[in-house]
Structure 1
Amino acid sequence: MAGAMIVALDGTILLMAQPGMQRDLGASVSQIQWTSTGYLVAVAALLVIAGRLGDRYGHQRLLLVGVLGFGAASAGIALAPGVGWVIVLRAVQGGFAAFLQPATLALLRLAYPADRLGTPIAIRTSAIAVAAGSGPLLGGVLVAHLGWRAAFWVNVPLASVIAVLTLAVRAPTPQCANPPRLNLTSAGLLAVALATLVHALSDVPARGWTASPTLLEFSAVIGVAAVLARHERRTTHAIVPPAVAGSVPVTASMAILLVTGAGVFGALFKATFYLQDVLRLDPLASGLRVLPLTVLMVLGSPVAVAALRRYGARRTAIAGTVLVVAGIAGLSRLGPASTWMAMAAVFATIGAGFATVMVTATGTVVGDAPPGYAGVVSGLKQTAMNIGPTFGIAVAAGATGQAASTMSSTLLILAALAALGLLPASRLPGRPAHLNGDGPAAGFPARAPIPQAAPARHAKAIEQPPNAPG
């Protein structure tokens, strides 16, 4: 949980640090944007590779390397003399975040059987929502009193504590006779394809969808992806194993996360400009208007677990997707005369729906992971959760330009995008056979056998895994 929270916290604190960073370092707007873009590109390129390495060398080891590197990179940014160093170190920080994130999910797969994953995943989802929601407030206080560098110094003690916990608690490890090897050709092609895709999407707000560089990058992504697919079919050590690629619950869950994440974050991007540029609210007042989304994500996660156990993944995911679509569509109907309660209601609806989708899809992905592949599955899930928001913001910024006052049509487009999640949601497992949790089908798919865990050296290794979305 702590490993997932530090990444979520860092992402939202950065938003408060960037204006002060620009003034202090004399940076251009483009350079400040690259402090985010470089991070996103590095994360997207390495998530699946990091998950594969965790499957081979141990997820706890990857968690330790990731959190130590994340903290060290944060300290380097806090000491950086110029914006060039900040950009480079943010990319390094993104690389270590990629090592960190899949391990926080893969360790859950080792520590809990499939029918008990609901509560840990709900706690992790709620914790991420709390961290992301409190980031702007904490960042505002730190930047106002100590300067922008304090927003990065705060990661250092947090990372140190997580590293100590990682060393102190021994999690169960799967007894795999033949740990999967990392195919370097596949890894390189996948990293290039994902990095190029994220870079292209990140530049859509500035360049537009039809600009020559954008089209060229998208064409390159298609070409590299085609070469990767051909190589994966021929190699004996595919970076995405056939057991994972052929799992309908896993692929459907990732599709749901991608499109609903795109809809939610695209809507938040558009709504933020609307609140500040049209309604003339300050950042704090705008944040308070959006606060019901965070609250309902925290409160909705345990409710989603109960619904998942009773009604199964298919019905629960469909219900969550419908709530997300209804919330975004409702947001499109708000105007300057709308009451605070009406705005709170639509944001709360989005939050409740997204929490339901997150818990259901994450539980399905992790619970259905074949033995020995928890890391690569977790990496794929985190990749979907990184590309989805980037895609949604590109749609929000590029659909109607930067005109915040004409957000209605853009939000309807984003609602339609989120509605695409209904199709993969219908492919998830149906109603569980045992409603009261008496069998392995009680809430999470369990067609893949649970990896046999080595005996833990400490009793608390099972009760308190060293991680917690998404």
Structure 2
Amino acid sequence: MRVHEDVRTKTYRWRWAALSTLLAAEAMNLLDATIVQVAAPVIHRDLGGPESGIQWFSAAYTLPFAVLLITGGRLGDMAGRKRVFVVGVTAFALASLLCALAPGAGTLIAARAVQGAAAALIIPQTIGLIRAMFDGPEMAKALGTIGPVMGLSAVCGPVLGAVLTHTVSWRAAFLVNVPLALIVLGTVPMLREDKAPQPPRMDPIGTVLAILGTGLIVYPLIQGDTAGPLPWTLMTGGAAVLILFVLHQRHAARRGLSPLIEPSLFRDRGFPAALATSTLFFAAMNGLMVVIVLQVQLGLGRGVLSAGLTLLPWSCALALSSWFAGTSLVPRYGSRVMFAGLGCLLAGLLAAIAVYHSSGPGTYPWPLLPALAVAGTGNGLFTVPFFTAALTRVRPHETGSAAGLLNAVQQFGGTLGIAVLGTTFFHILPDAGALSAAQTAFWIAIALLTAGTVTAALMRR
């Protein structure tokens, strides 16, 4: 009897140690994204190049991450999730090393794109591998650890990036990924291989169309006047390519092939409304984080440490409110919490605009910190019920495609927000100054969130 208890204890410890490996990989992805947002102005000052490079340091990562997420999930189904996970972590570590050694902005942007593609191989495998290791109540408990780890990463990312960049170098902000990746690879033998019993086929044409369409839209938004004489032509071409992508998906479904996106998801307007809401919400959130950092560093001339600490109230409030929403509010009030979060978020952004309006040039806006804490609280209150509501009416066979598409749209929305709000800031900065540029970017974010409130209401109906 004692022997059986020892075996069960060892098995239990093995599973949770393996779970730590997966959570470390998830945290590595989020840490990298938030670290670079804070360090980007310092990187640009060191490497030079056009101002649009500040946006590309983030967008070059999130764009391939967004469009390759579903493909990464398919590869895990086909070749084995553990195998694809190892390939992704290895590529991520090598790309991080290349980022740290980059001699110029172009090399860094290319390495960031490789990082994003590698993250698209890592992230889709984690939930599948967790399901392979746990079942019953243990699986629910294991999946429940993802939220707190992501919240902690969101809090630590800006501060860690600021401290490393301030005390060592921005290159250290990329090098921190290498030991993390080596630790993850060292514990990979604890993971159990898993693949789909009936693996889906790849959709290379759909993948290429998605990459080309989104790239043609995002590129002129970030480059602005330097995108060439016909930026609207590029964006129109991108929209046409995305329409072609939709037609290809329908055609593939009719022929019994494996499209990237499950067409049945769009029969109920609730899920398309969720996709629109995700795009608008994360465009506002990601774009604002970049604008706040730019205003502190370029407008006030403060260091990267000040920029990172400015984001700390937002990140801490986000982590606490998302935990409270998940454990207490959403089980009791359901999707109504989503609208309370949006209201709180809009109040925080309006307060931030008032702070920027009343602040003098060159003085640090201390009242901005509580305003950002209110906004972060709204962010956390919205996120938990949103994903719950978005997947409520999704049928079992659509879950994988729906989750992958929601994640992809979230990353694409973040890229779009960095492009639109960042370009707006740089366009206004030379003539009106950083305070006016920040106010305008915040008003655009409020407009995006107002539209997101309408699409969120369509989700409920």
Q: Please indicate the TM-score interval, normalised by the length of the shorter structure.
A: 0.7 to 0.9
Q: How far 1:184 moved relative to its partner?
A: 2.0
Q: How far 1:293 moved relative to its partner?
A: 0.7
Q: Tell whether 2:156 aligns with 1:134.
A: yes
**Deviations along 1:329-375, whole A, 9 cap, x unmatched?**
22111121799774233211211121222222334456766546554
Q: Do 2:132 and 2:192's aligned partners in 1 also have CA atoms closer than 8 Å?
A: no
Structure 1 residue corresponding to 2:89, chosen from 67, 70, 78: 67
Q: Structure 1's 239 and 115: CA in aligned 2 closer, same or farther, altered over 3 A?
A: farther
Residue of structure 2 in register with 1:192 after alignment: 212
Q: How far 1:71 moved relative to its partner?
A: 1.0
Q: How does 1:147-186 map to 2 (within 5 A)?
A: 147-170=169-192, 176=197, 178-186=198-206
Structure 1 residue corresponding to 2:421, chosen from 387, 396, 399: 396
Residue of structure 1 in register with 2:247 after alignment: 230
Counterpart of 1:297, as a letter, is L
Structure 1 residue corresponding to 2:98, chosen from 65, 76, 79: 76
Gaps of 5+ in 1: 431-470
Residue of structure 1 in register with 2:359 after alignment: 336
**Deviations along 1:101-125, whole A, 9 cap, x unmatched?**
3334555677789999987677534
Q: How far 1:417 moved relative to its partner?
A: 0.9
Q: Structure 1's 80 and 58: CA in aligned 2 closer, same or farther, altered over 3 A?
A: same
**Deviations along 1:38-83, whole A, 9 cap, x unmatched?**
3344323322222333344444443332112101222233345665
Q: How far 1:198 moved relative to its partner?
A: 3.0
Residue of structure 2 in register with 1:299 after alignment: 320
Aligned-partner Cα distance in 1 for 2:110–2:284: 30
Q: Structure 1's 26 and 202: CA in aligned 2 closer, same or farther, altered over 3 A?
A: closer
Q: How far 1:232 moved relative to its partner?
A: 1.6
SS where residue 283 of structure 2 aligns?
Answer: helix
Question: In proportion to residue count, which structure has more helix?
Answer: 2
Aligned-partner Cα distance in 2 for 1:22–1:271: 16
Q: Do 2:338 and 2:382's aligned partners in 1 also have CA atoms closer than 8 Å?
A: yes
Counterpart of 1:214, as a letter, is P
Q: Tell whether 2:232 aligns with 1:215.
A: yes
Q: Do 2:65 and 2:116's aligned partners in 1 also have CA atoms closer than 8 Å?
A: yes
Aligned-partner Cα distance in 2 for 1:115–1:63: 25
Aligned-partner Cα distance in 1 for 2:394–2:281: 22
Q: Tell whether 2:274 aligns with 1:253.
A: yes
Gaps of 5+ in 2: 1-22
Counterpart of 1:154, as a letter, is V
Structure 2 residue corresponding to 1:387, chosen from 409, 412, 423: 412
Q: Structure 1's 366 and 6: CA in aligned 2 closer, same or farther, altered over 3 A?
A: farther
Counterpart of 2:384, as a letter, is V
Q: How far 1:29 moved relative to its partner?
A: 5.5
Counterpart of 1:190, as a letter, is A
Q: Do 1:105 and 1:378's aligned partners in 2 also have CA atoms closer than 8 Å?
A: no
Aligned-partner Cα distance in 1 for 2:137–2:331: 9
Counterpart of 1:271, as a letter, is I
TM-score normalised over the length of structure 2: 0.78
Q: Do 1:301 and 1:359's aligned partners in 2 also have CA atoms closer than 8 Å?
A: yes
Q: Do 1:270 and 1:396's aligned partners in 2 also have CA atoms closer than 8 Å?
A: yes
Q: How far 1:216 moved relative to its partner?
A: 1.9
Q: How far 1:278 moved relative to its partner?
A: 4.9
Q: Structure 1's 50 and 429: CA in aligned 2 closer, same or farther, altered over 3 A?
A: same
SS where residue 370 of structure 2 aligns?
Answer: helix
Residue of structure 1 in register with 2:9 after alignment: none
**Deviations along 1:374-397, whole A, 9 cap, x unmatched?**
544333222222222232233324
Aligned-partner Cα distance in 2 for 1:29–1:301: 34
Q: Do 2:292 and 2:307's aligned partners in 1 also have CA atoms closer than 8 Å?
A: no
Q: Do 2:89 and 2:122's aligned partners in 1 also have CA atoms closer than 8 Å?
A: yes
Structure 2 residue corresponding to 1:361, chosen from 361, 386, 390: 386
Q: How does 1:29-44 map to 2 (within 5 A)?
A: 34-44=56-66
Q: Tell whether 2:287 aligns with 1:271.
A: no
Q: Structure 1's 250 and 168: CA in aligned 2 closer, same or farther, altered over 3 A?
A: farther
Residue of structure 2 in register with 1:54 after alignment: 76
Q: Tell whether 2:452 aligns with 1:421.
A: yes
Residue of structure 2 in register with 1:377 after alignment: 402
**Deviations along 1:276-324, whole A, 9 cap, x unmatched?**
4555544333433331111111111121112211122x31222222222
**Aligned-residue CA RMSD (Å):** 3.6
Q: Tell whether 2:344 aligns with 1:323.
A: yes
Q: Tell whether 2:288 aligns with 1:262.
A: no
Q: Structure 1's 299 and 30: CA in aligned 2 closer, same or farther, altered over 3 A?
A: closer
Counterpart of 1:225, as a letter, is L
Aligned-partner Cα distance in 2 for 1:339–1:22: 23
Q: How far 1:224 moved relative to its partner?
A: 0.8
Aligned-partner Cα distance in 1 for 2:172–2:329: 42
Q: Structure 1's 422 and 354: CA in aligned 2 closer, same or farther, altered over 3 A?
A: same
Counterpart of 1:265, as a letter, is N
Aligned-partner Cα distance in 1 for 2:100–2:366: 40
